[in-house]
Amino acid sequence: MTQAAKTGSDHLKALQDGRWISINGEVVSNHIEHPAFRAAVKTAADLYDFSSASPNLEKMTFRSPTSGRAVSRAWQLPTTYQELVERRQALEQIACNTSGWVGRTPDHVASTLSAMVMGIDLFERHGVKRASALQEYFTWARDNDIWAGYAIVPPQTDRQPPARQGDFINASVCDEDSEGITIKGARQLATGLPMAQELLLGAVQPLKPGDERASFTAMVPVNAKGVKLMSRKSYEQLAGSTFDYPLSSRFDENDTVVYCDEVKIPWDRVFVHNDIQMARAQWFDIPVMAYQNYPAQIRLSVKLRFLLGLAYRMAQENGLLALPPVMETLGQMAAEVNVVQGMITAMETNGVQYGKYFIPNSSIQYSAMVYSQSLYPAFIARMRELAGGSMLSLPSSVADFTSSATAEYVERTHGTAKRSAVDRVKLFNLGWDAIGSEFASRHAQYEIFYSGPAFGNRIRNYSAYDWGQATTLVDNFLSSYDGPAGPVLGA
């Protein structure tokens, strides 16, 4: 009998795994009920419930070729343009369910693993056993429709000498035997791990000779012995009410630093081992970097549409829509939203065959990453200009609406002839949480750096672009007329 699609209840059970996660000086015993994480965890469960509901099943899932189970289209390996579009429509719906505010939904690392499998020949050259481990893990992960996160960057303190001789700063192999490797040290920045079951540990930054111990890629359960998750401040926990912080209170996926305290990883979960060239090649010599950031652009397009709609509503509420400068600003923002959406369409229509698979155009994907890194802060700045002081004069909290001492005055000062104080404040609270709160500030930083530093993306875009199509135009034009020794045109 074919197993039913994964539900939110299934995911919650999987997250009750006894993992080690700390926040505010304590180790949390049951993070799915903790006020720092529970709303985000519920958001994760809701995504599975949506996908497994009968009306959404065909759009959101496909049948695993190994188990026959309905699993997320995030695990689908498209072989045609149509399959790529079907997959994108499912990922776009995932983004719509959070209005684009959860960056590391389960499709992100699923896309990473999918692209690795597309490039399985690279892993086979690295070693048949490592390729077999990758293929078997991918099959297991797909058939169980897991949610995975990753930590693939060394801690910034790795740039400094170790505090003590023999300290492991960047996570590295400290021991290995016939059963597997043992990892000690840290990796960052693991976004969304409170919502995830599995963790990919790898090295995306270049390694140099002598760094072989850090040149591994492996999957580990988040609750594995020795895995320590150290959470940043929880904006969810500080949000108070959904009315006051409608985004922070539900979509704070959280970021953690991962410390591996002698974590044993069996060989059947190790994909790269002791090879600094392979540690780099897995990201850039096969379409992993482009394919995993393609869903990120899909999510960003949804988020920008949401922000554009919010900017329009705030300007409308303030009676500004008829002003030419406001129309100009909103027109510019609408153009930018369309550019991001258009680049996604262009990635697909200009997609290429990669072996038997059909993948988005990598050059356009890298261009989209370069464009979006500078777009987001400018987009937010325009929203701030449109909002003006509207978000600075809000009541202190939802309690002001229920207190006998303040309720009447809140209505008098915030209500209008067309809109109640509750509805008006609700709108501008959303505006503040989107562009002014700590949650919003974290998102601004995230959108600029989640795909790496801008200079790196520009260099990758330089490498991916087909310069021949540009220089050929110039060369053909230069060859259309003679130099000083030749005849003068028009003579």
pLDDT digits (tens, 9 = 90+) for 59-93: 999 999 999 999 999 999 999 999 999 999 999 99
Looking at residue 356, what DSSP letter applies? T
pLDDT of residue 349: 98
Report if residue 158 sits inside a domain.
yes
Is 402 annotated as ligand-binding? no
pLDDT of residue 189: 86
Report if residue 360 sits inside a domain.
yes
Cβ neighbours of residue 274 closer than 8 Å, sequence gap 6 or more: 173, 212, 213, 215, 216
The residue out of 252, 284, 316 marking a domain boundary is 284
Cβ neighbours of residue 335 closer than 8 Å, sequence gap 6 or more: none
Three-class DSSP labels, 181-202: EEEEEEEEEEECHHHCCEEEEC
Report if residue 478 sits inside a domain.
no
| Per-residue pLDDT tens digits for 307-321 | 999 999 999 999 999
For residues 432 and 318, what is the distance between their CA atoms, to the nearest angstrom? Answer: 15
The residue out of 284, 310, 343 marking a domain boundary is 284
Domain check: are 205 and 254 in the same one?
A: yes
For the chain, the domain total comes to 2
- Statement: residue 279 has pLDDT above 70: yes
The residue out of 237, 260, 284 marking a domain boundary is 284
Which tokens in the block code for residue 340? 């991001």
- Phi first, then psi: give them for residue 330, nearest 5 degrees: -65, -35
Using 50, 70 and 90 to split pLDDT, how confident is the model at 384? very high
Is 158 annotated as ligand-binding? yes
Residue 26 is part of a domain; what is its CATH number?
A: 2.40.110.10
Domain check: are 427 and 446 in the same one?
A: yes
Domain check: are 202 and 170 in the same one?
A: yes
Report if residue 70 sits inside a domain.
yes
For residues 368 and 443, what is the distance between their CA atoms, to the nearest angstrom? Answer: 18
- Nearest residue to 311 via CA among 302, 301, 321: 321
Domain check: are 265 and 314 in the same one?
A: no
Cα dihedral: 344, 345, 349, 355 (round 10): 30
Count H helices, E strands: the chain? Answer: 18, 14
| Per-residue pLDDT tens digits for 197-242 | 999 999 998 899 999 999 999 999 999 999 999 999 999 999 989 9
Domain check: are 202 and 316 in the same one?
A: no
Q: What is the mean pLDDT of residues 365-378?
A: 95
Residue 309 is part of a domain; what is its CATH number?
A: 1.20.140.10
Is 164 annotated as ligand-binding? no
Report if residue 442 sits inside a domain.
yes
Is 156 annotated as ligand-binding? yes
Helices (H), 32-71: 38-52, 57-60
Long-range contacts of 52-58 (CB under 8 A, 24+ apart): 52/4, 52/5, 52/6, 52/7, 52/8, 56/93, 57/5
Is 472 annotated as ligand-binding? no
pLDDT of residue 484: 87
Domain check: are 29 and 101 in the same one?
A: yes
Domain check: are 297 and 271 in the same one?
A: no
pLDDT of residue 453: 81
* Residue ranges making up the domain that contains 461: 288-473
Using 50, 70 and 90 to split pLDDT, how confident is the model at 273? very high
Whole-prediction pTM: 0.93
